[in-house]
Amino acid sequence: MSGARKSKDRTATIMLWLVMALTCGMLALILAFLVSKGWSVLSWEFLTKKPRSMMTAGGISTPIVGTLQLVLVSMGFAFPVGVFTAVYLVEYARDDWFTRALRLAVRSLAGVPSVVFGLFGLSFFVIFMGFDPSLLSAGLTLGCLALPVIVGASESALLAVPRDYRDASYALGATQWQTIRKVVLPAAFPSIITGAILSVGRVAGETAPIIFTGAAFFAPRFAKSIFDQVMALPYHVLILATAGTNIEKTRPIQYGTVLVLLFFVLGMTMTGVLWRARLRIRQRAQR
Amino acid sequence: MEKDKFSVRDLDLYYGSNHALKKINLQIPERAVTALIGPSGCGKSSFLRCLNRMNDFIPGCSVSGKVELDGSDIYDANTDLINLRRRVGMVFQRPNPFPMSIFDNVAYGPRLHGDRDRNTLRDIVEESLRVSALWGEVRDILHTPALALSGGQQQRLCIARAVAVQPEVLLMDEPTSALDPMATARIEELVRELRTRYTVVIVTHNMQQAARISDTTDFFLSGEMVESGPTQQMFTSPRDKRTEDYITGRFG
Ligand SMILES: Nc1ncnc2c1ncn2[C@@H]1O[C@H](COP(=O)(O)OP(=O)(O)O)[C@@H](O)[C@H]1O
Ligand SMILES: [Mg+2]
C-alpha cells in the first residue's frame, strides 16, 4: 500500500472508532443520568404497589401490568397474522403485481410514524369496530405497528430454510402444507421468535399509538377484561412529566418508571440480539 | 430379470427452451439396481426426477412422453402425486436429514401418511434403520439430533427415512459424491442388499461404482440415452463407440 493510502486507511479507522465511541458514550450518559435520577425510588414496593395520592406516591404496578397486557394482546394479534402473511408471501404467492403490492405495503408500513398508527387505531378499532378506547383497541393498534417487523423477520427466516429440506419432504409424499407445518416452520421458528422479541421491545415503549386508543391517565385497578382501559409505562411517564401537579414528588417516580421501562425494552432487545447471534453460530456449525 | 418396473417412452424434457432430455426410451427392471451414467450435464438427474415427478417443482420445466410405473402413466392428469412419491422414494446428492432427532427423521414419512401409534412407529423406525445398516450405530441415540451424525451416517439415515414409507422404488442421485471412501463403500454394500426388496435407480458419475453395484446400466450423453444393457456387457463389450470412449475414460 502506498503511503497516502495507508494514512487514509488509518484516518478512516480512527474516525470509525470515534463515531462508535460517541454512540456508546451517549448511551452510557443517558443510562447514567437516568440511574442517578431514578435509582433511589426503585424498590420491591415501587414495582408491586399501585400509584396513590394523585400518583405522587406509591408504586407503578398498574402501568407495569398494563404494559405487559398490551404486549400480550398485540403479540396475540401480530404474531400469528405476521407469520402467516410471511408464509403466504414466501411459500404460496406467485410473483405477480398483487404480491409485489402486498410486499411493498408491508415494507412501507415499517416506516410510518407511530402517531399515524394511533390515529388509524382511533378511527378503525375504537370508532369503526366499536371497541372503544380499551386494552383491545390499544393492543391491536400496537400489533399493527409490530406487524411489519414480524413479517419481515419471518420472511427472511422462511427464505433461509434450505431447499433440501423441502425436497426431502415432498419426496416422501408430503403435501405443501404438511411440508410447511412440519419442516419449514419449525426450522424457521427460532429466527421468527427473535423477530417477535425485538418487536416486543418496540411495542412496549410506544406512546403515540395508545394515547387515543386505550391508555388510561389513571386506573385504580388492573384491567380485568380486554374492554377495560389500561395504564402503560410510557404513557405514565408522559403524564408525570407533563401533567404532574406536584413536581417535587412526581419527578423521582417519573425517572423510576423510565428506568423500569428502559430495563424492560433493553432486556427484550438484548435477548433478541443475543438469541440471534447464538442462532447464527449454530447455523454456521451445521453447514 | 423378470419384469420391468418403469417403462419410459419417447420422454422429452425442456427447461424453458433447453432441450435437456431427447426422446428417451428405456426399461427399468424390477428388483434390480439400474445405474445411470454419463458426463455431468447430460441429463441424469433430470431423468431421475421424472420418475417421481420432482421436476414438477422446477419453474419452466415441461415434460412430454410416457413414464409408466407398473403399466400406468405417472404423467397422466389424474395421477395421485402423494401416492406416487410414496411408492417411489428418493435419496439426494447431499445428505439432507431434517433438523430433528434421528427417530423423528425416520418417523416423518409414516407420520405423514397417518401412522400415529407409538409402538408401530418404533417398529418401523427400527426396521428401517436395520435395512439401511444404521441401527447398530444409533440405537442408543435415537432421540439426539440427526445433524450430529457423520456425513455417511446422515446419508444412510436418509435411506432409512425413504425406506420407512415402504416404497417400491428407490431413486438415488449420486448418493456418495459427498462422502469419503469408507462411507461410500458402506453405501455401495447397502445398495447391493437393497435390490432384494426394492427397484433401485442410481445416478453415478463413477464408472467403477456403476460396475460394482448395478445389474443394468444406461449411458446418457447430451440429453440422449445412448446405450442400455446388462452392466457386465456394457463394460466389457459396449456396442456404441461413444459408450466405449466414455467408459475407457476418453472423455467426460
Ligand atoms: N433446475 C434446472 N433449471 C434449468 N436447467 C436445468 C435445471 N437442472 C438441470 N438443468 C439443465 O439440464 C441439463 C441436464 O442437467 P442434469 O440433469 O442436472 O444433468 P446431470 O445430472 O447428468 O449432471 C443441463 O444442461 C442443465 O443445465
Ligand atoms: Mg446430476
* Residue A182 and residue A131 share a domain: yes
- State the angle between helix axes of B118-131 and B151-163 in degrees (0 to 180), rounded to the nearest 10: 120
At B92 the pLDDT is: 96
A103 and A184 co-located in one domain: yes
Q: Which domains, and CATH codes, for chain B?
A: 4-247 (3.40.50.300)
CA atoms within 13 A on the CB side of A124: 13
pLDDT digits (tens, 9 = 90+) for B158-180: 999 999 999 999 999 999 998 88
Read off the pLDDT of each residue in A101-130 and give the average, rounded to a whole number.
92
| Residue type at position B131 | V
Domain enclosing residue A34, as ranges: 3-40
**Residue B250: pLDDT band by 50, 70, 90 thresholds?**
low
The answer to whether B246 and B252 have CB atoms below 8 angstroms apart is: yes
Q: In this model, does residue A123 exceed pLDDT 70?
A: yes
> Quick check: A59 pLDDT over 90?
no
Considering the domain architecture, whether residues A16 and A100 belong to the same structural domain is answered as no
- What CA–CA distance (Å, rounded) separates A29 from A36? 10
Reported as a single tens digit per residue, the pLDDT across A139-185 is 999 999 999 999 999 999 999 999 999 999 999 999 999 999 999 99
Tell me the average pLDDT of chain B: 93
Q: Are residues A22 and A141 in the same domain?
A: no
Task: Give tens-digit pLDDT for B179-196.
Answer: 889 889 989 999 999 999
Query: CA of B209: how far to CAs of A13, A204, B37, B133, B203, in Å?
Result: 56, 62, 10, 19, 10
B36 CB near ligand 1 (under 6 Å)? no
Check pLDDT > 70 for residue A133. Answer: yes
Checking if the pLDDT of A1 tops 60, the result is no
Are residues A121 and A16 part of one domain?
Answer: no
| Distance from residue B51's CA to the centre of ligand 2 (Å) | 14
Cα(A170) to ligand 1 centroid in Å equals: 20
Residues 6+ apart with CB under 8 A from A53: none
A162 and A181 inside one domain: yes
Percent of residues, chain A, with pLDDT higher than 70: 97
Ligand 1 atom nearest to B48, measured from its CA? 17
Q: What is the pTM of this model?
A: 0.85
Asked if A14 and A64 sit in the same domain, the reply is no
pLDDT above 70 for B252: no
Give chain A's mean pLDDT: 89
Of the candidates B25, B17, B167, B199, the one whose C-alpha atom is nearest the C-alpha of residue B82 is B167
User: What's the pLDDT at B91?
Assistant: 96
* pLDDT for residue A41: 87
**Whose alpha carbon is nearest atom 5 of ligand 1?**
B15
Per-residue pLDDT at A8: 85
Which residue type is seen at B166? Q
Question: What mean pLDDT is predicted for residues A11-15?
Answer: 90
Ligand 1: distance of its center to the CA of B201 in Å?
18
pLDDT, tens only, B2-44: 689 999 999 999 999 999 999 999 999 999 999 999 999 999 9
Band of pLDDT at residue B251, cut at 50, 70 and 90 = low
CA distance, residue B23 to nearest chain A CA (Å)? 25
When divided into structural domains, chain A yields a total of: 2
Report whether pLDDT(A283) > 80.
no
The pLDDT of residue A22 is above 90: yes
CATH number at residue A250: 1.10.3720.10
**CB distance A173–B109 less than 8 Å?**
yes
Task: Specify whether the CB–CB gap between B24 and B225 falls below 8 A.
Answer: yes
pLDDT at A287 over 70: no
What pLDDT is recorded for position B60?
Answer: 92
**Cβ-defined contact of B112 to A173 (cutoff 8 Å):** yes
A30 and A147 part of one domain: no
Same domain, A148 and A179: yes
Of A89-93, A277-281, B224-228, which gets the smallest average pLDDT?
Answer: A277-281
The grid coordinates of residue B87 equal 411408492
Ligand nearest to the Cα of B38, by number? 1
Among B89, B94, B112, the residue with its CB nearest the CB of A164 is B94
Helix axes B151-163, B181-194, angle to 10 degrees: 20
Do A12 and A139 sit in the same domain of this protein?
no
> CA-to-CA distance for A240 and A253, rounded, in angstroms?
8
How confident is the model at residue A284, as a pLDDT?
66
Helix ranges (DSSP H) in B36-134: 44-50, 81-87, 102-112, 118-131
- Cβ neighbours of residue B97 under 8 Å, at least 6 residues apart? A168, B105, B146, B147, B149, B154, B157, B158, B161
Mean pLDDT of B126-144: 94
CB-based contact B162 A171, cutoff 8 Å: yes
Claim to verify: residue A23 and residue A162 sit in the same structural domain: no
Q: How far is the CA of A155 from the centre of ligand 1 (A)?
A: 29
Ligand 1 atom 4 nearest Cα: B15
* Cβ within 8 Å, pair B52-A171: yes
Kindly indicate the confidence band of residue B118, based on its pLDDT and cuts at 50, 70 and 90. Answer: very high
Query: Residue A133: what are its φ and ψ, rounded to 5°?
Result: -65, 120
Shortest Cα distance, chain B CAs vs residue A95, angstroms? 12
> Residue B1 pLDDT > 60, yes or no?
no
In whole angstroms, what is the distance from residue A223 CA to residue A64 CA? 12
Task: Mark whether A161 and A33 lie in a shared domain.
Answer: no
